[in-house]
Every structure is written in structure tokens, then in C-alpha cells.
Amino acid sequence: MDHVHSTTSERKKGQHLTFEERVIIQTRLKDDWSVNRIAEEIGCASNTIRNEIRRGTVSLYNDNVQRYKAKVGQQTYENNRRNCCRHYDLLEKSDFVAYVETNFWENGWSLDACVGRARVEGLFTREQMVCTKTLYRYVQLGLLEIKNIDLPEKLKRRARKSRSRQNKRVLGRSIEDRPKEIENREEFGHWECDLVIGSKTRDEQALLTMAERKSREYWMIPIPDKHPESVMTALETIRGKYSEHFSEVFRTITTDNGSEFASLTDLEQLADTLIYFAHPYTSCEKGTVERHNGLIRRFIPKGKRIDDYPLERIVQIELWCNSLPRKILGYRTPDEVFEAELDRIYGFCAA
């Protein structure tokens, strides 16, 4: 630039005006410089100069003269900066925050589940609540009784790199043959199942876990061991419970290629239920049940024997999973959706 006092090369984008620069503005205005010329000398946008002149202009001589004063502009700037900060409405919305903390600690709900359920049930108006993102920011800032270490999903370890292994046998019909419309989860009756064990002992008690893809209903069925006969006995008990409606409640079952499911295809001879097997070492193809298995690991850590937990405790864990409001279900619980589907099936059949 041609101006001796130009600071264009020294100024950073977004940098605030200094008192010295306000003195330059006052001086140049006395010399009848244009706003654009002043902005060019200081090295900022012309709108910055216009805004500064508006903030620092005072009335003189019985309001007959309007003149910019650098000291007034600086004082206005300092007052604005004193009040310029991020404001948290934590205190104003303390009732909602207390509701969140209560359900987080007592019911094990996620922060998003607390927000969504309160909104669905109309417990608070929108003005009385903060959003999920704000709640997580409060946790990060330490403004709540909830800390980052209390959020199970936030501090998970990184997943290991996958290894390609092709040597495991496929026990039956591949998941590739499963109808594509099952993927959209709009039809009820499509299940995934897995086995949860405590230690590696084969004859130790295990949990047969099942999850319905649409409602996210999750069952934990204790079985005496990992043998295929124990799995089939548990399924036979379920089949007896639903009797003639079993094939409507259980249209398909998708599982992995573990040896404990070697006899599962025998179920097709007893009902219209179709059995599908995921690809070897690809647990993501039955992600619903795997995700729920991760939830119960909060209560039954890996390495702990299943038979160390009484049946009442297992029922409590299952009840907690099925009473947890889910965003994907419109903040309804899996039990609510599942019961609605059963009412539809039984009502239709009765008609």
C-alpha cells in the first residue's frame, strides 16, 4: 500500500480494533478522509470502520454536532466485551437437569433417551429443556453430576483390525438368501440370536439372547451349557408358549455359525420359521443382538460366570433393556412396540 501507516500485512482476519487504531480513525475523520480510505490504511473491512464510528459517535454543542471519539469507542468496546461470553441456562432449567440426572443414575437411561422421553410424554415445555447436544457439552464442561467416565459408549476402546478368515463352515441357509425387505425393519417377526458366555468352559451356564429387529425386543434365556441340544430345548419352550402363532411371531431367525446352533435348522421342520446364518466372522450382519449383548456387559462383565447371577438379576437386566426409550422407536420402549405387535397378531387371528 501507499500509506505509511498501513497495517494490512500485520492484521489478522477477525482481529479487533485497538485503541491506537481508534485514535487513527478519529484523526482521519477530522482530516475528512472517507471510510474506505481509513479502512484501507488500517487494513480492515470498511463495514468495520462504519460500525466503529456508529458506536463511538457522541453529540456535542446541544446535539448540534456529531463527532467520533476514540475514548468513547474504546469504552463501548470494553463494556460489550465484559458482557460477551457463552451463557449457560443450567440454573433456569434445573428441574429438567434433575430429571435427566435421576433417570441416568436410577434407570440407566442415556442422555438422549431422557430428552426424547420427556418430550414425548410432555413433561417439560421446549423452553424448560435443553437439547441432547447441550447436555453432552455440560458433561464435557463438568457442569453436571455426570462425568465422561460415566458414559459407557464414550470411552470405548478402538476396534481391532478385522482379519479375513474363510475356513469356518456354514451350517445352513446363508444370509445372502434372506429377503432384502427384511433389512428395512418394517415387518415384525424377524429375529437375531446369539450366545453370551461368561468364561470359556463348555459346560458352564450360558445365555441364549434373542432380539427382534423391528421392536428391538431383547430376551435373555439361561441355558445349562453351550450344547446344541440346550439351545433347541430353549426354542422348543418358546414354541410351546406361542403355539399356533409361533410362525407369525418368529418368521425368520438369523444367527452365526457357532457349533451351538448346529441343530437350529431342525426348527424349520417343526414350524414355518426360516433360519439364516451370517457369514463366518461377520457379527455385524446381526448387529441388533450384538448391540444388546454389549448393553448387558455393563452388568455381566466378560469373564464372570453366568451362574454367579441369580435368575432374578437376569430378569431385571432384561427388563431394563426392554424399558429403555429408544430414539429410533420415537422414544417408545421395545416392550411397548412388541406388545402392540402381539396385540395386532392375536387380534387379527381371533377375527
What pLDDT is stored for residue 6 in this prediction? 47
**How far is Cα 89 from Cα 156, in angstroms, rounded to an integer?**
30
What pLDDT is stored for residue 221 in this prediction? 93
Q: Which residues of the chain have a pLDDT value below 70?
A: 1-10, 85-88, 155-170, 201-202, 348-351
Phi, psi for residue 60 in degrees, rounded to 5? -125, 160
3-state SS of 70-118 is HHHHHHHHHHHHHCCCCCCCCCCCHHHHHHHHHHHHHHCCCHHHHHHHH
**How far is Cα 203 from Cα 205, in angstroms, rounded to an integer?**
7
What pLDDT is stored for residue 349 in this prediction? 46
User: Could you count the other beta carbons within 10 Å of the beta carbon of residue 106?
Assistant: 8
What pLDDT is stored for residue 169 in this prediction? 56
Count of CA atoms in the C-beta half-sphere (13 A) of 130: 23
User: Which residue, chain included where needed, has cell 487494513?
Assistant: 43
What pLDDT is stored for residue 202 in this prediction? 63
DSSP 44: S
What pLDDT is stored for residue 226 in this prediction? 87
Render pLDDT for 113-166 as a digit per residue (tens, 0 to 9): 999 999 999 999 988 999 999 999 889 888 888 998 888 777 665 555 555 555
3-class SS of residue 208? strand
Three-point CA angle 216, 221, 223, nearest 5°: 150
Look up the pTM and report it: 0.68
